[in-house]
Each structure stands twice: as C-alpha cells, then as structure tokens.
Amino acid sequence: MTMKKLLSPPSCALSSLLACLFLAVCVPASAQKSLPKTVAPPPPILLGTAWYPEQWPESRWPADLELMQKAGIRFVRVGEFAWSKMEPSEGNYQFGWLERAIDEAGQHGIYTVLGTPTAAPPAWLTQKYPETLRTNEDGRKAEHGNRQQFNWDNPKYRELARDIATRMATRFGHNPYVIGWQIDNEYAEVSFDPHTRADFQNWVKQRYGTLDNLNERWTTAYWSQTYSNWNQIPLETKPGNPGLLLSWKRFVSATWVSYQKNQLDAIRQNAAPRQFITTNMMGWFDGYDHYAVAKDLDLAAWDDYVGEGHVNPYKNGSTDDLTRGFKQKNFWIMETQPGHVNWAPINNDLNKGEVRALAWENIGHGADAVSYWQWRSDLNGQEEYHGTLVGADGTPVPLYPEIAQLGQDFAKAGPVLQDTSPKSQVAILHTYPSFWAIDWQRHNKNYDPIDELLSYYQPLKDIAQSVDIVQPTVPLDGYKLVVAPGLNVLTDAAVKNLMSYVNNGGHLILGQRSGMKNVDNGLQTERQPGPLVPLLGGRVDQYYALIHPVPVDGQFGANTSKLWAELLSTNSPDTQVLATYGKSNGWLDGKPAIITRKVGKGSITYVGVWMDDAGMAKLAKWMTAMSGVTPAFGPVPAGVEVDPRYSKDRTVYVLINWASTPQTVTLPAAMQNVLEGGSVQSVTLPQYGVSVLSEEKK
C-alpha cells in the first residue's frame, strides 16, 4: 500500500489553540485551486523535523516524505533560510516550488510550519542595499556568506522583510496544510551603526524625558559621565555605567519586539486566525528580554541543544519551564538535536535511548511538539557534520528507529495528553534585568546567575516534581511557595505584587543578592532587600565574595557557603534566625545567614548564603514543609524524574529514568500505562526508560 494519502482525521483534536480553528478552512480558489478546502486538525502532540526541499531535486521529495511518514513525523518546518529561492532577484517571486513542497507533504499526512526567511537575506539584497548589513561592535560591516548578517534596526531591511512576509502570507495564509509560522530564526545579532545609535539615543530620550532626569537616575556625576546632549550617549556593552548597560539591553529587546511585529502584523493581516505565529528562542540565551518578545506571539518555542556531553535533566527541564513561563502556557520545541551537533568542542552523540528520553522530558514539561534539526545531511554548507535523521545518501541513520519509536509514542499518548498542561505549587521568579545586572557585576567570577537559580530549582523539583519559572509581576496567589533567587533588580510593580502575595498568606523566599538594585540598575537607597526590608524585619548589612567556602550552621545542619555570603541582621522581635555563619573572616563569625518572619498566615525568608548541594536540599525540604507543598506523584527512586500534566478530568505523569541502573517505581494508585497498555501498580524503567501514566479524576 502506498504511503501517500490525504491527511486523515486523528483520534483526537489539537488542544487549546489549534483544535477549534481547523473546523472549516476555506482556500482561495484563485491561489490554490488544487488543494482541498478542509483538512483534519493536527494531533495533540506532534513530532516534526526541519526540511529543506530547496536543497534537493523535487524528484527526491516523495522518498523523503515517505520516510518521514513511516517515522510518524507529522509536521515539517520549511522556508526559514530560503529567501534566495523565493526571490532569486528583486521582485522576482518564485513560490511555486514551495507550494508544491507543502502540498506534497500534506499528501503524506504532514503539516507545515512556514518560516519567514529573514535570518538569511540573499546576496542581491545586501549588495544592492549595503545599509541593510549590520555593523559589528568594532565598526566592521558583516558580509554575505553566513547568516544573520542583516541589521535588525534598518528601515530598508524592515521594508524588504515585511514585503517577503506579506507575499508569503498572501500565498499561504489560507493553505489548509500550513498550521503556523515561525518569524525569522534564533534572534541574536545586533548592529552598532550610526542609525542604531541615533535610535538608541531617541529611545533613551523617550524613556527619561530630560537629561537632568537621566543624569540623576544613572548617577552620571560619577567619573564626569554627565550628559549635556542626547547625542553624547554611547552604545555600551562592556562593563560600564549600570544604568546605561541596562538601557541598552532594554532597547535591544524593544527593537527585537518591533522587528518581529513588522512581520507579525503582515502575516496576521493576510493569514487565517487558525495559523499560529511563533519564533524559535534559545533557552537561557540572554541577548534580549524573552518575556517582552514573547508577548505578541501565539505560543513560545525554543531550540533544545545539549552540545557536548549528555542531558542534564535539571538544566534542560528548567529551560522548558522557563519557556513555558514566557506566556504561562504550553510551548513547542522547534529544534532539537538528533544525536549530535557540529559546533561543540566535542560533538559526541547522545546515548541510545537518550534522544527519546529528552523528547519526553520536553513533553512532560509542557511541550506539545518536538522537532528535529535537521532531516537530511547537507551536501555542503557550514553544518555538514551536524546530526540528522537521514544521511546524505537519503537512507536513515542509526537514530532513525528511535525517532520512529517516538512517532509511535506520540500517536498513542496524544489523545491522553490532549488539553493537559503542567500546574505547579512552586514558582521560581526570574527577570532578565536581574540576570544581566548580576552577570555584569558578578563580584566573584564564578557567580553564574543561572547556576544560582538551578541551586534552588533542583531540590525543589525533586520534592514538588513540578516548578514554574515566571516573572515577579504575574499573579502569584495560586502558589504555595514562591522563591526568588537573585531577584537583583526590584521594580515597584514587583514589590507591590510580592508584598500582596505575602500579606495574603503566601510564603516568599528571597535568595542571595535579591533586592539590591532599582529599576535603573542603581543601588536601592535601603540595604537589601530594598523596599522589602520592613516586611522582612531585617536586612543585609554587607555582602562578601568568597575565595574559600565559609561554614554555616543552624536549622539545616552544618553546611558551607560557596562563592558568596551576606551578613544579615534583624530589626524586628519576631524575625527568626534560622542559620548563622561559623568562624571565617571575622566579619561573618556568628552572624545571621538565613532569617525568616511570619506575616499573618504567610511568611518572608531571606537566604544570604549559597550553600552546598546538601544544604540546599535541606533548605528545600524546610521550604516545602512549612508552605505545605506536596509531591505531585509521590516518592520515587533517585534518578527518576516525574513530570505531571493536568486537565479537568485527568492527570498524566511522565516518568523518566536518568539513572544508570534500572529503577522500579511503586505507584500511589493503579494507573493506566499509556504506552504499553493495561492498568499497573508499578513500573520498572531501564536507563532512559519512559513511562506515561494516566489517572482519571474521581
């Protein structure tokens, strides 16, 4: 039987965004006469790959698509680097090949996510319009021959980018096989040209209004930095005035927002509402404020690459949670590595079974799609050595059967996972200004703000089994415990929200370096934690970067503080000292290291130490016990990850064994084994083993 067929109805509809939008899709007859007027909605959980039909003869497409279909791949991302194929010369638009590729994929049961091709402008464009090339910080112009050579702030480039996005949306905005759009690809590179500098100066003027206001808030009297004209303000990315540095990052973020909106508006004006719009972000990449950029998108997506080594389930899982927090809903993995990459110092392959386990971790944390980069090895180009699912000869690589197993997994589990999403009792607070502020002034070269967050995340994840990572300004009342490691830049809005949370019975933990800076990255006039000092009934008297760990003792036993220590004091009789420092530098000896205060039914705690792993585990146990946080699933052996997803009528647990030996998990109640069938009371998982368990709500 031929594999070629029209999209057939899956066993269930896509949750939330897509399900209700595919009921009746009309295709303009003038544009696409051969296409069906309606197709079935995509399944709830999708397996995908990045496909580059422009690199291969059309005669090869059916063979590739049949191999995709056999593996259970249900969508391809197409077009994000194909501008020179879509518009080989200015005004000469060639979309016929793309329409044929989309149609051919649809005939094989495969949907399409269309990428706008603006991350890789064609040579004719940058040659004719050299002003569209970005300028490096050293003043040199980028050149053709790579990608991301464009200037994201240049008006001419935006005009050309909007034009190609408009023409694509006009052609494919009602194509029944196109389910969504990816704008550009991995936003990253910025420009330091005179036009961008003038725009930055104008942005600063709009934000601060007067030079007197700016000079006061940036404390420019320091080192005679005072500005008497807006055009004196430089572009500064290296250590310098903290207010200037933070303003530049905010400008970069705002410019990416407007760059994205330029294309997003063009698509929305010409495409069916059922087609979602996203872009592919890069996890903990700190080039811009991801919350700001995600705001206008329909869903968030990120590119999940391990690089050298193997999966760190806490680091990777936290990145999923970070991305889910951008819009506080399920997300997509738009790219992930099929075995190995080509850009790491050592491009080792993930172990057999590890790729499948990684994909299921993504799903457990709220991904509704996982897509592999890329389908087939390039015959030339900068990424010849990157992992793929099919080799240069067109035959499957050894990883292909593991991907095919995922295809079977997703088909089985999709109906059960439909309309489910993670829901946590614990939130960790994160902002990009705080991340940047600490990273610019680490004070200890080893003080990594991501590592700080993970030092709290890992033991909390082990106990609660589900953690949200969100901004401090989102509604917090639904959380039993809110933890803020390194909330360095504390805005008025965040202060108001945190105080309301505690006063209404919430339990707030402030980690080291919290509340040190104001909205302009200047020191708070109060000591840490700034405006929260009265609520805490205590403060940070001094901070110390450490060469050697210092001892800490108290309610959490004997531990050590590495890298950093803050000397705390109390000014309220009901503020309790939970831990004190041992003998070290004299200043810290016997002084408070962790303090807490009850506020009505709530509490606020300040942790001034970065304890070792054992100490953080004990701290997490105390935090969850005093706030009433309970495990979502129940106790499991070490090395087994539990990821719950909830709907109104069921809870689905994804269990993954990252330990090197098999682990047996006793279930808290009988559950349905989704992948293997039947009702079970326990499961045994080999290394990288996965079990999906469903429990109906009573």
Active-site residue list: 186, 335
Task: Supply the Cα-derived Rg of the chain in whole angstroms.
Answer: 26
Q: Under a CB-based contact definition with an 8 Å cutoff, are residues 75 and 112 in contact? A: yes
Biggest CA-to-CA distance, the chain = 82
Name the token pair of 614: 């054992």
Q: What tokens appear for 445 in the block?
A: 């070269």
Of the candidates 431, 427, 439, the residue with the CA atom closest to the CA atom of residue 494: 431
Number of H helices and number of E strands within the chain?
17, 25
Is residue 374 reached through a cis peptide bond, with omega within 30 degrees of 0 on the bond before it?
A: yes
Angle of helix 313-327 versus helix 449-464 axis, rounded to 10: 90
> Strands 663-673 and 609-611, how do they pair?
unpaired
User: Residue 496: what are its φ and ψ, rounded to 5°?
Assistant: -60, -45
Specify the residue for token string 């368990």.
Answer: 693
Torsion angle, CA of 314/319/320/321, rounded to 10 degrees? 90
* Closest listed residue to residue 542, CA positions, set 508, 491, 498, 586: 586
Contact 524, 517 (CB under 8 A): yes
**E strand or H helix at 551:** strand 550-554
Residues with Cβ < 8 Å from 2, sequence gap 6 or more? none
Q: How many of the other CB atoms lie within 10 Å of CB of 139? A: 8
Q: Contact, 483 vs 511, CB < 8 A?
A: yes
Whether the CB-CB separation of 230 and 130 falls below 8 Å is answered with no
Distance between CA atoms of 696 and 698, rounded to whole angstroms?
A: 6
Half-sphere exposure of 323 (CA within 13 A, CB side): 30
